[in-house]
A = this chain, B = another copy of it.
């Protein structure tokens, strides 16, 4: 069914990538994905309180930034970090960001 489109990393501008990371909620989501490999949308959520529509928008933005890939599995959407591709495009960036992230 392929509902989502994922950009080629070479088409992702640096500012878009930085913008995607420049938000505490999205950063938390990226960190969770970095730790967990595969997560459903609701499990990638940065906290309980966040509304579904907001969560969906954050994930859309992370997709557009080339940070995550989303595939459908039944009625769930499974998200994974596009780690190696992202690292090839922006060497050291994600490591630096995740390393200086507050606990």
Contacts and interface: CB of A to CB of B under 8 A. Distances in A.
A32 to B, nearest CB: 16
A101 B18 CA distance: 11
What's the interface size class on A, roughly?
A: 20 to 34
Contacts of A89: 100
A22 to B, nearest CB: 4
Contact of A96 (B23, B93, B101): B93
A90 B21 CA distance: 14
Contacts of A99: 91-92
Contact of A15 (B13, B14, B22, B92): B22
Contacts of A96: 90-93, 95-96
